[in-house]
Structure 1
Amino acid sequence: MDTGLMLLRVVTGLLIAAHGVQKVSPWLGGRGLDAGTEEFRRDGFRGGTVTAVLAGATQIGSGLLLAAGLVTPLAVAGAVGVMTVAVSVKWPHGLWVQNDGYEYPLVLVIAAAALAFTGPGEWALDEVAGLTPWPAWSALAAVTLGLGSGLLARLVLSSGRPGREDHGSRSWRHR
């Protein structure tokens, strides 16, 4: 079981962190901060650069913490929060990623939430530091905080514009 939890934790965390790196830099196939800023504006967010930096930093930080299994409830709250925003952006396109849908961020939300409820496993820094087991309520609190903060961020940072004008023209193949 610990091997499965480690694999889930490391892959999910590193994918979330890498997605954040792409938002703010040209590394890992990213297009840099200017492109990340423009993407947030097209998606109907205010704050452009600040929004991109905060989202990228949250993804990098929570992803790395999740991968390491360190302060897992905090890592889950950050990962669920930022990926909830991604789900909300992609929601109008439907479920499937082929249509720029929310399938991928939803999988990351569910994987992070599952780790909150199972714990990070014995091969995690939480275990080494003596932080586990986390109290039973911490999983529910982490997931609830993540969902709530993600939806609140979407509401507060929304520019009031409907979002991208070219919903149908951008697909996963053109990224």
Structure 2
Amino acid sequence: MAYDRRDRAIFGATSATTATHDVGLLVLRLVVGLTMAAHGTQKLFGWFDGPGFTATGKGFSMSGYPAGQAMAAIAGLSETLGGLGLALGFLTPLAGAALTGTFINVLAVRGLSTYFAPKGVELESVLFTAVVALTLTGPGRFSVDHLLPVLRESRPRYAVLGLVLGAVAGFVVLLIRD
């Protein structure tokens, strides 16, 4: 804790600044995490006017993935559990890994030729950037991870490892796509 106080003193951060920082991270985590969890439940259960599991599996098959149903399960679970983990600030590096792998595939399938809506990837790019930023900065004090000393003390190492794991998994899944 002494290091944190010295660091804050050097950069002029006050306890009010630190509190607003943590509240800002909480708001961002909740919006991005719950958005991703909702997308996952659209795939898995058809909630929120989503396509549901069977249609999502067919969509994966049409996009060149083998075993469309298995890919629908992987994508749906990655988005749902990764989104909930991000929203709660629970195992944030693993949540970031799950969502990173998902976004690599989303961007590859959608293509990068058009950025803006209706056929562009602007929303996906913003959400992916927010996931990377939250994984690297950490979830803040108002999170489950704050209660886990191993994640509080070694945040940079676990954050980078989580993003690398997600990128590797995402590219491996892309390699099996036709």
Same fold (TM over 0.5): yes
1:51 equivalent in alignment to 2:104: no
Give the counterpart letter for 1:121 in structure 2: G
Over 3 Å counting, the alpha-carbon distance change for 1:93 and 1:43 in structure 2 is farther
Unmatched segments (≥5 aa) in structure 1? 161-175
Say if 1:119 and 1:133, in contact at 8 Å, map to a contact too: no
In structure 2, the residue corresponding to 1:132 is in which secondary structure?
A: helix
Residue 83, structure 1, aligned to residue 119, structure 2: no
Preserved contact between residue 84 and residue 105 of structure 1 (Cα < 8 Å): no
- Paired amino acid for 1:62: G
Give TM-score scaled by structure 2 length. 0.82
- Alpha-carbon separation, structure 1, partners of 2:101 and 2:152: 23
Displacement over 4 Å in runs of 4+: none
- Which residue is 1:113 aligned to? 132
The structural deviation recorded for 1:135 is 3.4
- The answer as to 2:34 corresponding to 1:14 is yes
Secondary structure (helix, strand or coil) at the match of 1:75 reads: helix
Tell whether 2:40 aligns with 1:26. Answer: no
Percentage identity across aligned positions? 34
Cα separation, 1, equivalents of 2:93 and 2:72: 23
C-alpha distance in structure 2 between counterparts of 1:103 and 1:145, whole Å = 24
Paired residues, number: 157
TM (norm. structure 1) is 0.83
Bigger fraction of residues in helix: 2
Q: Contact conserved, 1:77 with 1:146, CA < 8 A, in 2?
A: yes
* 1:100-157 Cα shifts (integer Å, max 9, x gaps): x22222222211110122110100011133331433222222222212211211112x
In structure 2, distance between residues paired with 1:148 and 1:57? 18
Amino acid at match of 2:60: F
State how 1:147-162 maps to structure 2 within 5 Å: 147-156=167-176, 158=177, 160=178
Structure with max Cα Rg: 2
Counterpart position of 1:172: none
CA RMSD after TM alignment: 1.5
Q: Residue type matched to 1:39 in 2?
A: G
